[in-house]
Chains A and B, each alone.
Chain A
């Protein structure tokens, strides 16, 4: 059996908000294999975003460990974490998070520029073509619709061909048509690029494209179903 790309082992997370710590996640264990989409479902405030941040090595568990390719994220140095983000992980957010001052193409190109990669513009253009927005390359984000902005964000998240894509409610701010396009792209990313996708969502449509559906409740896994 191939090693899972991402594995959470008895992960707990608590925030020390004020006097006593509040535990948000309790002993979560989860594994995601290459090329699969895992959907995280659950009520608002149940800890989805928190879990995604742990999975994307942007934050670290209070207990247990998060393993990416078998290495615990908490043990990595800052430089290793940065390298990890530059090569292995991409992020998509609910509110798109494009930089308003950069053009569409520059937004997509940015991760490559930050990593100091060559041919960044050509690769970025390639990804823009993939999401069907090549003609908007020199426009500014505010000139795009929400759905288009999210497609640009997906192009950006995948521009460096990451193995792991973390998406926090990628359709949360879109209508059905926009959402469907975004979901199609995510599905395509998993099959074509072999990316492991971990996605938090409230929508049934989004849950429908997932290979694995995990329901969270009060920081615990309530159910896990595979397709």
Chain B
């Protein structure tokens, strides 16, 4: 205990600034992980139907792709079982000043007023409430308030059907089995009378579907959040290494007076654990704050890409808090193990001079390089592995191996670049000294280079991935969005929801002069093997003639599309096919409406609009199974020579009052790219934190380098160096470190981007991204990072220049 105080705590206190920097880097790493976890939970954890409190316990739910026919209700209530059947409709109401709020249709025994949940009632005053439903303004008298969590509205089922224009349709039927009744009997009886295509699910299935849908998204976010932690780990390694190097003599003396090896090991591990726990605790607190800031970003992405969710309150439980602290401690201990073991091996008669020791250390690069090659090989092998339980485990492993490989290659790089620039650097005292000092403390400088490189690589790889993805999506939008104008309901709608176009609009659209063809599309949210997807019906003949759908290599677009009309044949989007392991020619059974339909996959086309995927058939085929299914959007092709602007204006005039918007191709593309950019905002935020952590590390290490060489720096002043030269030397070291880190980081980033694009993304989301590195963006980012590294050297440089030579010259 006394040892701990004198050998560990006192130095930590003496170097308060450096200790603070180390703790802060751990704290930031932990904070990001905690924040992403908390914000992710809050942003996605609120799918649970807020209705549950209203209808009470539900044992089963009946759903059907394309909607449940309300006549089933009659059959069900006639069953000789003791159970309650509740018909439910669900929609989104947009209340001015409040936003989108779920609206439920339920059996309220003909109540004509609208019920508000208590929380909502507090925000909406007055006894009449007006809102938008499917793009149309409606207004109701407010009825009694109902219990329930969150905001929602309830209408009587008949009124809801009328308001939504969904006569005879239900979204689901909730089944509640009475206490005394046999559950299995009810299940059997209900199944027996349900049409073949109907699904009888346990409640919670939807929430599970939601979680499964978001699984890949959340995992990738989580893994990204570990970057800062990895960078932090390098810095702990660095800090402990420094403290071992500095206290070598003390350790030698300790061993000489009889301290056991394990005592020495324990001492340094205790130092790491201390830094980790303090950093972890600080990180949890910081993470809680960061979570507030990120929850909106994550919820935005989820809403844009997946499904409606309303962010819940952020809940920091003791499990999360302990988890964060433990993470900090474990990462610290793990990364301190190697230097602590080195301390353990210090001989009692340790008397090697620094020059000799460093000379020996620099001979170790060969071993590192060999290790780097082995790890690179392992990374390559891991990248070939198939996903494990739906997770791209091999991809993550490959990324870790690649980071390890680059860390091991760092010493070689430092030496090689130094050798290569030897002649140039030798001409100026600053660069000569800077270069030598980096190679002399090779072990330490390579860790800084590796840490910085990892952060840079993460940034570069994600940059390359996002850039490539963006370019792929842009190219795809160009080929996909061939129509000149798009018509869809004016109501805002969430991803995965398809508000209907008003009936009869088709003839209106076709009557406008200049319109050559109208492709009506019917989107139907659809459940398939426990996953959510979209079933679509389009005018395939028009798609074939005017569209540019791209299919997987080797598939014949024309032949595929020709084979669809009049047959139970579908085309699947690439993510759908990958998610369900389907290939062209496969036959699958799809529940549509009342029936189980066996369809053949005619082809697989590229699509980047949904990672859940599409299954598209000819419109006529779809309408055969779902007769009243309304169209959800329309694509309009103009005749050659038609004035797009004039036609659009004419379309708008004629559809006025239908509650639709007419958007030109260009607008749609822009919106799509905007959504794309918004969804990656969080990614960039995470990158920024990783870079900040790396910068703290650079400053920390340079400061250590300065403090360790005080005597040398003082000597330089005796030999005629000006304060500016000393400062310049430290800044040159910073610049050198930044340059090396950039070289290594770019190489690693390139490798990681391949893993991200071709392994992680493919296995998580199922789409093929073309490789398009955004060169200008990368160059800019690298320049910025380099500048920041040099900035990180400013404070250490000032400390170095301010040393009093007479005071430090006799220190050792």
At the interface, yes or no: B718 with Cβ under 8 Å from chain A? yes
- Per-residue interface assignment for chain B, residues 349 to 388, with 1 indicating a CB less than 8 Å from any chain A CB and 0 otherwise: 0000111101100000000000000000000000000000
At the interface, yes or no: A204 with Cβ under 8 Å from chain B? no
On whether the beta carbons of B723 and A100 are closer than 8 Å, the reply is: no
Given contacts A110-B719, A114-B719, contact A100 B355 (CB under 8 A): yes
On whether the beta carbons of A101 and B437 are closer than 8 Å, the reply is: yes
Given contacts A100-B353, A100-B440, A102-B432, contact A114 B716 (CB under 8 A): yes
Pick the contact of A102: B436, B718, B809, B812 (CB < 8 A). Answer: B436
Size category of the B interface is 20 to 34
Contacting residues, chain B, for A142 (C-beta < 8 A): 353, 355-356, 359
CA A78 to CA B715, docked complex, whole Å: 16
Minimum CB–CB distance from B91 to chain A (whole Å) comes to 74
At the interface, yes or no: A14 with Cβ under 8 Å from chain B? no
Minimum CB–CB distance from A184 to chain B (whole Å) comes to 23
On whether the beta carbons of B440 and A85 are closer than 8 Å, the reply is: no
Contacting residues, chain B, for A97 (C-beta < 8 A): 711, 715, 718, 809
Identify which of residues 330-365 in chain B touch chain A, using a CB-to-CB cut-off of 8 Å.
353-356, 358-359
Given contacts A142-B353, A142-B355, contact A114 B720 (CB under 8 A): yes
Contacting residues, chain A, for B624 (C-beta < 8 A): none
Minimum CB–CB distance from B803 to chain A (whole Å) comes to 12
Pick the contact of A59: B356, B428, B432, B806 (CB < 8 A). Answer: B806
Identify which of residues 415-440 in chain B touch chain A, using a CB-to-CB cut-off of 8 Å.
426, 428-429, 432-433, 436-437, 439-440
On whether the beta carbons of A101 and B440 are closer than 8 Å, the reply is: yes
Pick the contact of A113: B432, B715, B718 (CB < 8 A). Answer: B432
At the interface, yes or no: B59 with Cβ under 8 Å from chain A? no
Given contacts A101-B440, A113-B429, A140-B359, contact A53 B806 (CB under 8 A): yes
CA A82 to CA B720, docked complex, whole Å: 6
At the interface, yes or no: B721 with Cβ under 8 Å from chain A? yes
CA A106 to CA B356, docked complex, whole Å: 18
On whether the beta carbons of B806 and A99 are closer than 8 Å, the reply is: no
Identify which of residues 314-330 in chain B touch chain A, using a CB-to-CB cut-off of 8 Å.
none
- Per-residue interface assignment for chain B, residues 703 to 717, with 1 indicating a CB less than 8 Å from any chain A CB and 0 otherwise: 000000001100111
CA A49 to CA B717, docked complex, whole Å: 17
At the interface, yes or no: B805 with Cβ under 8 Å from chain A? yes
Contacting residues, chain A, for B721 (C-beta < 8 A): 82, 114
Contacting residues, chain B, for A58 (C-beta < 8 A): 717-718, 805-806
Contacting residues, chain B, for A219 (C-beta < 8 A): none
On whether the beta carbons of A114 and B725 are closer than 8 Å, the reply is: yes
On whether the beta carbons of A85 and B719 are closer than 8 Å, the reply is: yes
At the interface, yes or no: A76 with Cβ under 8 Å from chain B? no
Contacting residues, chain A, for B428 (C-beta < 8 A): 113
Identify which of residues 56-77 in chain A touch chain B, using a CB-to-CB cut-off of 8 Å.
56, 58-59
Contacting residues, chain B, for A56 (C-beta < 8 A): 718
CA A79 to CA B433, docked complex, whole Å: 21
Identify which of residues 126-149 in chain A touch chain B, using a CB-to-CB cut-off of 8 Å.
140-142
Given contacts A53-B806, A106-B432, A110-B429, contact A100 B354 (CB under 8 A): yes
CA A55 to CA B22, docked complex, whole Å: 42
At the interface, yes or no: B722 with Cβ under 8 Å from chain A? yes
CA A189 to CA B347, docked complex, whole Å: 44
Contacting residues, chain A, for B723 (C-beta < 8 A): 78
B712 closest partner in A (C-beta): A99
- Per-residue interface assignment for chain A, residues 21 to 65, with 1 indicating a CB less than 8 Å from any chain B CB and 0 otherwise: 000000000000000000000000000010001001011000000
CA A110 to CA B718, docked complex, whole Å: 11
CA A102 to CA B354, docked complex, whole Å: 13
CA A118 to CA B433, docked complex, whole Å: 18
Which of A56, A59, A113 is most buried by chain B, counting CB atoms within 10 A of its CB? A113
Contacting residues, chain A, for B719 (C-beta < 8 A): 85, 91, 110-111, 114, 156
B722 closest partner in A (C-beta): A82
Which of B353, B355, B437 is most buried by chain A, counting CB atoms within 10 A of its CB? B355
Pick the contact of B720: A86, A93, A140 (CB < 8 A). Answer: A86
CA A100 to CA B357, docked complex, whole Å: 11
At the interface, yes or no: A151 with Cβ under 8 Å from chain B? no
Contacting residues, chain B, for A208 (C-beta < 8 A): none
B805 closest partner in A (C-beta): A58
- Per-residue interface assignment for chain A, residues 95 to 131, with 1 indicating a CB less than 8 Å from any chain B CB and 0 otherwise: 1010111100010001101110000000000000000
Pick the contact of A140: B355, B805, B806 (CB < 8 A). Answer: B355
At the interface, yes or no: A187 with Cβ under 8 Å from chain B? no
Minimum CB–CB distance from B722 to chain A (whole Å) comes to 4
Contacting residues, chain B, for A213 (C-beta < 8 A): none
CA A97 to CA B809, docked complex, whole Å: 9
Contacting residues, chain A, for B426 (C-beta < 8 A): 106
CA A119 to CA B347, docked complex, whole Å: 45
CA A170 to CA B722, docked complex, whole Å: 25
B427 closest partner in A (C-beta): A113
CA A114 to CA B440, docked complex, whole Å: 20
Pick the contact of A91: B359, B439, B718, B722 (CB < 8 A). Answer: B718
CA A114 to CA B810, docked complex, whole Å: 22
Minimum CB–CB distance from A21 to chain B (whole Å) comes to 17
Identify which of residues 700-751 in chain B touch chain A, using a CB-to-CB cut-off of 8 Å.
711-712, 715-723, 725
CA A53 to CA B717, docked complex, whole Å: 12
Minimum CB–CB distance from A17 to chain B (whole Å) comes to 12
CA A143 to CA B809, docked complex, whole Å: 22
CA A142 to CA B809, docked complex, whole Å: 19
Contacting residues, chain B, for A140 (C-beta < 8 A): 355, 359
Given contacts A102-B436, A142-B353, A142-B359, contact A160 B805 (CB under 8 A): no
CA A156 to CA B716, docked complex, whole Å: 12
Contacting residues, chain A, for B358 (C-beta < 8 A): 100-101
On whether the beta carbons of B355 and A141 are closer than 8 Å, the reply is: yes
Minimum CB–CB distance from A81 to chain B (whole Å) comes to 9
Contacting residues, chain A, for B436 (C-beta < 8 A): 99, 101-102
CA A12 to CA B436, docked complex, whole Å: 41
Minimum CB–CB distance from B545 to chain A (whole Å) comes to 74
Minimum CB–CB distance from B437 to chain A (whole Å) comes to 6
CA A115 to CA B359, docked complex, whole Å: 28
Given contacts A59-B806, A142-B353, A142-B356, contact A99 B715 (CB under 8 A): yes
Given contacts A99-B712, A100-B354, A142-B353, contact A78 B805 (CB under 8 A): no
Contacting residues, chain B, for A111 (C-beta < 8 A): 719-720
Contacting residues, chain B, for A100 (C-beta < 8 A): 353-355, 358, 440
Given contacts A58-B805, A93-B809, contact A160 B720 (CB under 8 A): yes
CA A114 to CA B726, docked complex, whole Å: 10
Which of B440, B721, B805 is most buried by chain A, counting CB atoms within 10 A of its CB? B721
Minimum CB–CB distance from B446 to chain A (whole Å) comes to 16
CA A110 to CA B430, docked complex, whole Å: 10
Across the A-B interface, give the 9 residue pairs with the lowest CB-CB distance, nearest first: A100-B355, A142-B355, A113-B429, A86-B720, A101-B440, A101-B436, A82-B722, A85-B720, A114-B429
Could you show 10 A-B contacts with beta carbons less than 8 Å apart?
Answer: A56-B718, A82-B720, A95-B812, A97-B718, A99-B712, A99-B715, A100-B353, A101-B436, A101-B439, A115-B720
Question: Which residues of B does A touch, CB under 8 Å?
Answer: 353-356, 358-359, 426, 428-429, 432-433, 436-437, 439-440, 711-712, 715-723, 725, 805-806, 809-810, 812
Apart from A58-B806, A99-B436, 10 more pairs, CB < 8 Å = A59-B806, A82-B720, A82-B722, A86-B720, A101-B436, A102-B436, A114-B429, A114-B719, A142-B353, A160-B720
